[in-house]
Amino acid sequence: MTAKALSPLSPGDTIGILGSGQLGRMLAMAAAQLGLQTHIYCPERGPALDVSAFHTCAGYDDDAALAGFAASVRRVTYEFENVPAHTAEFLAARAPVHPNPRALTTAQDRLHEKTFINSLGIATAPFAPVDGIDDLRAAVARFGLPAILKTRRMGYDGKGQAMIRPGDDLGEVLAQFGGQRAILEGFVPFTREISVIAARGEDGAFAAFDLNENEHANHILSVTRAPADVSPQSAQNAIAMAHRIADALDYVGVLAVEMFLVIDSSGERLIVNEIAPRVHNSGHWTIDGAETSQFEQHIRAIAGWPLGAPTIRGRVEMRNLIGAEVDGWRALLAEPGMHVHLYGKHEAREGRKMGHVTRVWPQAFSGKAP
Ligand code: AMP
């Protein structure tokens, strides 16, 4: 089914969402705001179920449950990129799946992803496939050290990666990967990590939010600030890259493109790290800090509706509440101007994203007086 042949949804229609985490929850809340219902499909109960009219709890390999789910919704989307290929293909044969399964399979495998990005003339870190020790030795000889070994699939929040430093035993590093196929990436001496959150509609319309500047702690996103501190030219280039990626994938929905900003004697350069084919943690500020949130934008895009204005409302900072940090919720609520979002997770395990807070400093009026 091509996106162009689809008829737009009407208020009251139902959108299916794979995954029951906080992203699914915020998507369901945005859908409700627009008069749409949601049906969450998940193997395990999660916070999205609290805010969705319908749910199916079954495995991603349960074809009978998947068929029933597909029959009950007008569009299918997902909140995580590790949707099994079979599940995406099975559903796509029965209902429109946005973003399409090709976007998913491209983003799921770092080798395919980086090859695809380079094919568009967009720079990534130098990379090479590593299927054994000989590949690793050859890649280290090419890129030098430090370098980063990453599993091709299923890596997130720094999981499935190892930094290799001069003097490290390559055999030992590779043994930690337990035979999983990997890539070696040359180390990028970046100044800042940034991301672009953008949306493409069923009609090909494109809209990007202001660039995000991201800080990580223990490999998990900690703080996002927008707009990012980059030159106007870099901001324009970053958005143009996201646009090219979205067009090339015939993408429908919100996507995130994570990039490194390198500043050296030759100026500013952007290097794409990865694509997330979904709403993204670095776009959470848009709920309070933009005319349209990334969640509403995703729902609009997949419903075949006009995209909303991505205009930022000032200068914005979003902080994740990780693990026990959420225990400070009462004090956060008492802070004027603090927008508190709690995900309704019952157990504040270490490293778990429990909520986030956003502050917006409104832009001073800078236009001409009427
Ligand atoms: P990833 O799982 O690819 O998003 O990587 C997690 C984090 O590791 C990134 O946010 C960077 O801070 C760092 N990192 C990943 N790849 C590279 C690279 N090629 N060079 C330098 N730092 C990297």
Q: How does pLDDT run across 272-300, given as a tens digit for each residue?
A: 999 999 999 999 999 999 999 999 999 99
Cα 101 to middle of ligand 1, angstroms: 25
CA distances from residue 16 to 41, 221, 310, 341, 366 in whole angstroms, order as listed: 7, 27, 24, 23, 43
Strands 206-208 and 192-200, by their bridges, are antiparallel
Report whether residue 146 contacts ligand 1, using a CB cutoff of 6 Å. no
- Per CATH, the number for 192-362 is 3.30.470.20
Strand (E) positions, 12-167?
A: 14-18, 37-42, 54-57, 75-78, 127-130, 147-151, 161-164
Q: What is the pLDDT of residue 5?
A: 72
Ligand 1 atom closest to Cα of 157? Answer: 2
Local structure of residue 223 (DSSP, 8 states): E
CA of 153 to the centre of ligand 1 (A): 15
What radius of gyration, in Å, describes the C-alpha atoms of the chain? 21
pLDDT of 353 above 80: yes
pLDDT band at 365 (very low <50, low <70, confident <90, very high): low
Ligand 1 within 6 A of 155 CB? yes
Q: Tell me the residue ranges of DSSP E strands in 266-344.
A: 267-276, 314-322, 339-342
Mean pLDDT of 119-141: 97
Average the pLDDT over 83-107 and give the result.
97
- The predicted pLDDT at position 370 comes to 44
Report whether residue 52 contacts ligand 1, using a CB cutoff of 6 Å. no
Tokens of 303: 């419903």
Contact 48, 17 (CB under 8 A): yes
Q: Is the CB of 187 under 6 A from ligand 1?
A: yes
Mean pLDDT, the chain, rounded, equals: 95
Place of tokens 């990967």: 177
For residue 6, how far is the Cα from the chain centroid? 25
pLDDT at 367 > cutoff 60:
no
Q: With contact defined as beta carbons under 8 Å apart, do 56 and 41 qualify?
A: yes
- Ligand 1 contact via 325 beta carbon (within 6 Å): no
Q: What is the C-alpha to C-alpha distance for residues 70 and 337, in angstroms, rounded to an integer?
A: 41
More confident residue, 156 or 210: 210
- Residue 256 is inside which H or E element, if any? strand 253-264
Alpha-carbon dihedral angle through residues 283, 222, 276, 40, given to the nearest 10 degrees: -70
Measured in Å, residue 187 CA sits from the centre of ligand 1 at 8
In this model, does residue 1 exceed pLDDT 90?
no
- Tell me the whole-structure pTM to 2 decimals: 0.95
Burial class (CB in 10 A: 0-12, 13-18, 19+), 168: middle
Query: Backbone phi, then psi, for 195, in 5-degree steps?
Result: -145, 150
CATH architecture, range 126-186: 2-Layer Sandwich (3.30)
**What's the start-to-end Cα distance of the chain, in Å?**
50
Q: Which atom of ligand 1 is nearest to the CA of 190?
A: 21
CA distance 276 to 79: 10
Domain boundaries, given as residue ranges, for the chain: 14-108, 126-186, 192-362
CATH of 14-108, one of 3.40.50.20, 3.90.1150.10, 1.10.3470.10, 3.30.830.10: 3.40.50.20
% of the chain exceeding 90 in pLDDT: 93
Give the whole-angstrom CA distance, residue 300 versus residue 199: 9
Handedness of CA 234, 239, 242, 248 (dihedral sign): negative
290-326 as b/e, with b when 16 or more CB fall inside 10 Å? bebbbbbbbbbbbbbbebbebebeeebbbbbbbbebb
Residue-wise pLDDT for 187-240, tens only, equals: 999 999 999 999 999 999 999 999 999 999 999 999 999 999 999 999 999 999
From ligand 1's centre to the CA of 227, what distance in Å?
21
Residue 214 CA to ligand 1 center (angstroms) comes to 12
Q: What is the pLDDT of residue 158?
A: 67
Mean pLDDT of 80-85: 94
How far apart CA 98 and CA 200 sit, in angstroms, is 10
Q: Encoding tokens for residue 92?
A: 């796509």
